Each structure stands twice: as C-alpha cells, then as structure tokens.
Structure 1
Amino acid sequence: MKFIPLNDSGTNYLTFGLESRTEFQYLGNNNWGAGPQNPGVVLVRLMPDIDLRLGDHARVFVTPFFDEFTGQYPRPGIDKDIADGHEGFVEFGGNLHDPHPGWDVIVGRQEVVLGTGRLLDDNEGVNVRSAFDGIRVGYDKPAGRIDLIAVKPVEINPGAWDDIPNPTITFWGLYASNLRWSPRFMSDAYFLDYDAKSATYGNQSAREQRRMIGGRYFNRLPGEPPRAGFDYNIETGFQWGSFGNRSIRAWATGGNIGWTLPGEVWRARFGLQADAISGDSGQPTTLGTFNALFPRGAYFGPKFALIGPANLLSVQPQFWFHPRQNVTGDICWIWFWRESTKDALYSFNNVALRPANLSDAHYIGSQPNLEIRWAISEHFLGALNLAGFIPGTFLEQSPPSDKIAFVNAGLTYRF
C-alpha cells in the first residue's frame, strides 16, 4: 500500500494511507444545561488518502472523509459530515521529498495549520476537521518559512458531498513561521486579512472587515517532544478594521512557560498558561471583541470544546508526565473570567453562549482536564479524556448553571 512504483526508476509512485478513529463521548449538561443535550454518543471518523508523486517536483493528494455521529443534535460543522472531500490539491515545488523544499505552491482544498493553532488550525480535537479552498505559496528553508495564503473556508454541511467554499468569507495573509534567530529564540510574524459579508456581535449584524498583525516568540518548534530545561511560547496580536459603521480595535496576548525535568522514565513538565483576550467595552462607535478567525476547537484543554477565545482572561497551571515510553499524561485546571462585563461569553466559533446583560460579574468558572494517551502499537493510539466545569458567579447569575461532566475514550488506527 506504500510507495507503489509507476515507472521503472520509481520516481513516480502511488502511496495509500488511512485514519480510522472511533470515540465514545459522554457530555453531561452541555452549555451548563441550556439547549438540546447529547449525553452519550459515538463519534466515528474515517479518512483514507491517496498520494501521487510525480518525481521530486509535483504531487497530487486526495482525502475524502466520512464522519458519523449517533446523537440527535449534532453541532453544526463539528460533529457530523456523512461523506465529503476533505482535501484535494496539486502541489508543485523544489524537492518535495525534502522537509525544506525551497519554493512550493499548493492549489485546491487543503488543511492550513500555522503556529500553535490559535488562529489557523485543522480542528483536530473535534470530529470534523477544517479545510480551506484556495492557494498557498511558500518558501521554506531551514532558517524559516514564509507563506502567502488566499483561501475561503470550507462550509461544513452534514449531508453527503455537499461541502462548498463559504461564499460569505474571504481570507488572505502573509505568515512567516519558525524564523530561527538563535537556538534559544525563534519567532513567527504575520499579517492577516478577514472579510465576512455578514457577522453578528451582540444584537448587531453587519459586514466585518478585520485585519491583524501579530507575532509569536518561542524556543521549541510546534509538536516538538518536551526535553529537559526551560521552554516558552508567547503570542501577541492586534486587530483593526470595521464592523458596519463601527471601527474594530481588538487585541490578544497569551503565553506558556514551563520546565521539564531530565530523565526518560517519569519525565515531567510543570507549566503555566495565561491568556488575555479583549472583549467589547460597550462603546457605540467601536467593537472590541477579538475574532480568533479559524482556531482549534478544543482551545482550552486537550479535548473538551466549549469556551472560545474572545472576551476572556484565563490562567492554567499544567502538569505533563511520561510514566512509560509509550504513555503520556496531561493534567491542567483552567480558571476563566470575562475581560469586559459589557460583552458576552463566546464559544470557539464566536457564537454567544451567554449574553452580556445578565450579570455584572467577571468570574465565569473553572475547568479541570485530564488526558492519557497510550501508543498501543505503531498504528494504534488510545486516548482517555476527562474534564468538567464548575460554574462561577457569572454563570450562577445567568442560569442555567449546572456543573458539566465530560468523558471521551477513543481508539485511532493510522497507516
């Protein structure tokens, strides 16, 4: 199934892959008891892929997906998509077998993941992954990568073969990533432009034209396994533009610092994550709510997706441990406050979970998380996630405010 030669020299070849993921999920009192509930469901994702390589300079990649959900009330664009084309693109470039191929161009439907997924992510945590239709032009060298992106997000619909590029949203940007200034200091820098023909904040709907500049500063690459010593990852951004007849002035900053103890067995990392993300102050001429654009769904914690990065202050102590060669664990406890009491509490896709005017309180509540990941073999991965939410003053004054319990147990097969 891998590297099937199509010519005598083997420079043209075909390779197949597959991801099959099945999860049982229990979610008690979703949205603190408001709205329809799916207490116990099974989530299934099947993603075969075909990769055609034509020498070192051309590639065709296709991935359909089949995402099923047994509950009665699937969350739109998150839980269910019976069958559709997830990725389908052609790629041209320098040596595409090299991790740093020089220049490359990708045209078609594709995932876009940049940085740590705060603004552009494939949404791996939830059942249905995200993709974009458009073009990405990159220049990649060991000292860093620069991407020019012009895309439309794919509109996820639950039926078969009905996903289309969202006609109301256009997105483009310039993103420089993993710029290596020294072994202990790397950075990202970016300019992003977002245009939505219709958006809603509070009780107002209008066209949203938003631009953003930002940067990230870190000493370890995304996805790099923890190693002994100090690590840091800090990101800041500022947004401006217009929302109807109002100007946009929004900002966000967040950081994660940690220390990893030496050793292979029971290696441990102690960390602290903190975020400050602007909300609206209620001024009639200015919108202050931050738009995180296309972030990962489980933004806070490894799996449980509810609260999103808008109008928020959070603090998150973390403990990562590695008891066996093929077992890792992550424990964290997150405390949330509203940055502005004149703005709502939002989900990760910028939908208001609770309006602003029900309470003057800042404190939202706290969320504990536990994740255990077990690499059973080369192809099988098991994961257990436990989480909950203890409501604070804001939720108690804007009921319902039931405590949330979350359990997710899954098995993933990849080849």
Structure 2
Amino acid sequence: MHPATAPGTNAMGRHPMRAIGAAVLVLACWHLERARAQDAPPARPAIMFNRWQEDWSVLADPRVPREPLDALKYIPLSATDPETYLSFGATIRERFESNSAAQFGTAGNRSQNYVISRTELHADLHVGQHVESFLQLQSDFAPGKTQLVPVDRNRADIEQAFVVVTEPAGDGTLKLRLGRQQFAFDLQRFVSVRDGPNVRQSYDAAWADYETWPWRFIGFYSQPVQTRDRRAFDDFSNGHLTFSVLRVERRLTQAISLSAYYSHYTQDGARYLSVTGNERRENFDVHLDGTAAGFDWDVEGMGQFGRISNEDVEAWGMGSLGGYTFANLPLTPRLGLQIDAASGDSNPHDRTLGTFNPLFPNGAYVTLAGYTGYTNFVQVKPSVTIHPFEDAKLMFAAAPQWRESTADAVYTQPNVPVRNTAGRGDLYTGAYSQVRLDWAVSRSTAFAVEAVHFQVGDTIRRAGGHNSDYVGVEIKYGW
C-alpha cells in the first residue's frame, strides 16, 4: 500500500516539521499584529451629542495626529497625570426652515421662511478620573422669523454648568452630578433635551446614578429651566415647575435592555382646555428595546395619575418603533413601522382630566415640522430607509392620524391645542408624508434635509386650517 493512502496517516504524520513550521509562522504573525495594535495611537474622540462625555486626554499621546487648535482641546494641568486637563469646544447649528402653515394656518399663522441659529461654547475641566466641571454657554437667534416662541431665541445664557464626581463603590461606579445640566431617556419621547428647536431644554438638578453590570439605578430632583430672554443671562428655574425621577435599567443581553421609572411632575398654574390650576402628576414608564437577527424594536408606555385643581388625572401615552434590515441587499434597506398614541379628555365635565401631558418631548421623534403634538392622537407610520452612500441614510415615510377622543382638541407640538377643534369633527385629523436625509459628512460635521406635507382632514379644515408644507435644511459642526 502506498504510504500516502495508509490508514491513520495525516499531514502531521507525513511532514511533522512542515506542520510545526506553519504553526510557528501563524503564531508569530498573530503576535506581530497584536503588537502593532497595541502600538497604534489612540483615536481622536468622536464629537458627541453630550459634549461633556468626550475624553480629550488622548492628545497627551504625541502619536495622535494633530489638527488646528488642538492646543485648546487639551491643556494639561499636571505634569504627572494626563487626565487632569482643560478643554474648550464649540458647536454650531444652522437650519433654514420654510413652513407654509404653522398650526395649519389657524390663529393668524402665515407662511414663513427663516433661519434658526444655535451657537454653543463650552469649557470642560477634568481633575483626574474622579472630578469634572463643565460649563456651556448658548446664543440662539431666529433671523427672519416674525412669529417667535420661547424656544426660538435666547441671545446669551448658561446652558449647562455642573460638577460631576465619579467614585468606585462596591462592584460598581457611583456618579453624582450637581448644577444646570441636560439629560434624556430612551428615544426622548417624554424626557428630552429638545434638540429639534433652537433653545435646548436644561434642568437645574441634583443627579445620582449607580451602575454595576447589568444594572443601573438613577435618581434626581430637578427644576426645569425656563427661557425668559429679556436680557442676557436671565433664564430661571423655581419650585413652580419641578420634575423628579427614580429609574432602574437592566441589560437583559448585550443587545436587549429593559428600563422603568417613576416620576413626579408639578406645575403651578397649568392650563388645559377644561381646567386650570396646580398640576401634580405621578408618571409610571416602562421601556424595552433591542436588536436580534436583523430585527430592531423600541417600545414604551406611560401611565399618568394625579390631580389638577379639583380634578383627577388619568391619562396614558405609548410609542413603538420597529423594523427589519436587509443587511445583504444593496443600499441595506430597512422596513419600519411606528405606532404611537396618547389619550385625550373624553369628557370635559366629569372632573377627570384624560389629556396626556408629554412632559418634555422631543418633537423630532414625530417630525421637525411641529404639526403633531404627543397628545390626544393615534398614528400608524410605515417607513423605508436606505443608505444611498457611505454614512448617509434616506427615509421615506407616511402616516395617517386620528384623535383618541373627539371631545378633546387636535394638538400640535409640544401640546398646543388647535382652536375650534375640541368637541367638533370626527376622529380622523389627516395624514402626512415625510422624506429625510441624514449624512455624517465627517467626524465633526453633519448634514440633514427634511420635507413634510400634511394633508388635513375635515376637522382641521372646518376649524380654518389647510394643508401644510415644511422644508428644513440643517448643517451642524462640532469642534
């Protein structure tokens, strides 16, 4: 029998030295690649949504490629600790908006073309790994806009000013944050930084969180900041508007998380269509999100109970967003479906207010156009998203909408009733189509275009409204 076909022989048996040499070569290549990876300079940090979370201590490594003004991005303050430093930065956002009919043309609203301009400057001081102090100033203008609302303009004010202390505690990490700050939960349906409009939402707050895998516990008391803009640096907060939260998060797997929170909301002198008075709402929220095998989902529900004046509060809101991505097809299409709803007041005379309060919503979750408030509505929104080129996505969507209760009004963002709609008309309010392009041009620059057409139903038309069109073109730069 030829030795090459002898039973029990293999490559190692025939050529043991050749096999050993190949194994040594593979091992040597692995060690070489590992050494190269370890010797590679750290990457520059991404420009983040929350600028205070950026870590510019990587610039202490001379191998990191330099860019103009890096001397201001990393100013070392210790000869022995590279994580003790001062960093400066800025964010500029410019958006052109054309809106043919805010509030669907009711209440004297006319077509407008204007720019909203936001400039933010910040200083970030790190003292080792445990203490951080962050200051951010804002200046917001709306040139060309004649019908201003409080979120349009804030000529100069303190957007954030807080101190963070981070300490190991047991098997986890404890963080304490005190001062004017911004925070958001989940998809920002009900607790957001209000990034869509010009003036973002800040909170004067005392915040604490403790994180130990897979748990995170959060608690805070806050007085939401209100924009005044009579003069520079006059924004304020007080005990007439408060928001407090106890929240728990649980990572079920690397890709699936569950969270829940209780919040206490107070507002003195709150105004609703059927009642005015001091509002006290207890809010219970549950949220689940995740991805698996090409599917993604995000589901949230909130129940509200409490009192306003002499009426009970019983309201609810929910949102769901899911889809499937065809990762192996050209343009990587994603088919999505979004279903959202919130209660309205079914009877303005029964001493129970059913109008949902969206608290601090992110209007861009629905559209930037502002035609839909997260109150007394139901919408079903299918969508298709493709990636026409690298770092860009293009979404096409359409959504019919209804009221949850005809006894309550149609609402626009954030919860503004459209006049002459409460108790009139039918459930159907209209439908909108939406096209949006988002393009991450570079590490520091983002570009977006959005167009919305809202076809009103008979209820809005009889109230004096008409079809509405919105176009927004935005560019954002972070340094």
TM-score normalised over the length of structure 2: 0.80
Q: 1:21 aligns with which of 73, 93, 110?
A: 93
Q: Is the 8 A contact 1:228 1:261 kept in 2?
A: no
Which deviates further from its counterpart, 234-243 or 342-351? 342-351
Identify the residue that residue 258 of structure 1 maps to in structure 2. 323
TM-aligned CA deviation for residue 111 of structure 1: 0.4
Q: Deviations over 1:302-329 (max 9, x none)?
A: x222321111111111112112112211
TM-aligned CA deviation for residue 36 of structure 1: 3.5
Q: Deviations over 1:105-131 (max 9, x none)?
A: 110000011111011100111111111
Say whether residues 1:403 and 2:474 are aligned partners.
no
Cα distance in structure 2, aligned partners of 1:147 and 1:38: 44
Alignment of 1:241-390 (within 5 A): 241-263=306-328, 266-282=331-347, 283-301=349-367, 303-357=368-422, 359-390=424-455
Cα distance in structure 2, aligned partners of 1:46 and 1:184: 35
TM-aligned CA deviation for residue 255 of structure 1: 1.2
Identity across aligned pairs (percent)? 29
Q: Is the 8 A contact 1:175 1:190 kept in 2?
A: yes
Read off the aligned partner of 1:161 and give its amino acid letter: F
5+ long unaligned stretches in structure 2: 1-71
Q: Deviations over 1:210-231 (max 9, x none)?
A: 00112011114xxxxxx96011
Identify the residue that residue 129 of structure 1 maps to in structure 2. 200
Task: Return the structure number with greater helix share.
Answer: 2
Q: Is the 8 A contact 1:345 1:355 kept in 2?
A: no
Cα 1:188–1:74 change in 2 (3 A) is: farther
TM-aligned CA deviation for residue 264 of structure 1: 8.3
Cα distance in structure 1, aligned partners of 2:95 and 2:329: 30
Identify the residue that residue 477 of structure 2 maps to in structure 1. 413
Cα distance in structure 2, aligned partners of 1:77 and 1:60: 28
Q: Is the 8 A contact 1:105 1:136 kept in 2?
A: yes
Say whether residues 1:42 and 2:115 are aligned partners.
yes
Identify the residue that residue 221 of structure 2 maps to in structure 1. 150
Cα 1:234–1:65 change in 2 (3 A) is: same
Identify the residue that residue 170 of structure 1 maps to in structure 2. 242
Cα distance in structure 2, aligned partners of 1:168 and 1:55: 38
TM-aligned CA deviation for residue 379 of structure 1: 1.9
Cα distance in structure 2, aligned partners of 1:92 and 1:285: 46
Cα distance in structure 2, aligned partners of 1:49 and 1:38: 35
Cα 1:348–1:145 change in 2 (3 A) is: farther
Q: Is the 8 A contact 2:103 2:412 kept in 1?
A: no
Identify the residue that residue 223 of structure 1 maps to in structure 2. none
Cα 1:386–1:101 change in 2 (3 A) is: farther
Q: Secondary structure at the match of 1:354?
A: coil
Read off the aligned partner of 2:93 and give its amino acid letter: R
Max Rg structure? 2
Read off the aligned partner of 2:380 and give its amino acid letter: V
Q: Is the 8 A contact 1:23 1:411 kept in 2?
A: yes
Cα distance in structure 1, aligned partners of 2:254 and 2:205: 34
Cα 1:89–1:184 change in 2 (3 A) is: closer
Cα distance in structure 2, aligned partners of 1:360 and 1:113: 36
Q: Is the 8 A contact 1:362 1:393 kept in 2?
A: no
Q: Is the 8 A contact 1:358 1:398 kept in 2?
A: no
Read off the aligned partner of 2:476 and give its amino acid letter: T
Cα distance in structure 1, aligned partners of 2:307 and 2:235: 29
Cα distance in structure 1, aligned partners of 2:216 and 2:144: 42
Q: Is the 8 A contact 2:166 2:176 kept in 1?
A: yes
Identify the residue that residue 83 of structure 2 maps to in structure 1. 11
Q: Deviations over 1:194-221 (max 9, x none)?
A: 111111111421111100112011114x
Q: Is the 8 A contact 1:38 1:71 kept in 2?
A: no
Q: Is the 8 A contact 2:115 2:145 kept in 1?
A: no
Read off the aligned partner of 1:174 and give its amino acid letter: L
**Count of matched residue positions in the alignment of Structure 1 and Structure 2:** 403
Q: Secondary structure at the match of 2:104?
A: helix
Identify the residue that residue 173 of structure 2 maps to in structure 1. 102
Which deviates further from its counterpart, 71-80 or 210-219? 71-80
Q: Secondary structure at the match of 2:184?
A: coil
Q: Deviations over 1:71-123 (max 9, x none)?
A: 3434422211111110000010127xxxx971101100000111110111001
TM-score normalised over the length of structure 1: 0.92
Q: Is the 8 A contact 1:126 1:305 kept in 2?
A: no
Say whether residues 1:394 and 2:459 are aligned partners.
yes
Say whether residues 1:217 and 2:288 are aligned partners.
yes
Identify the residue that residue 259 of structure 2 maps to in structure 1. 188
Identify the residue that residue 2 of structure 1 maps to in structure 2. 73
Q: Secondary structure at the match of 1:324?
A: coil
Task: Return the structure number with greater strand share.
Answer: 1
Q: Deviations over 1:222-241 (max 9, x none)?
A: xxxxx960111111121111
Q: Is the 8 A contact 2:224 2:237 kept in 1?
A: yes
5+ long unaligned stretches in structure 1: 221-226
Read off the aligned partner of 2:362 and give its amino acid letter: R
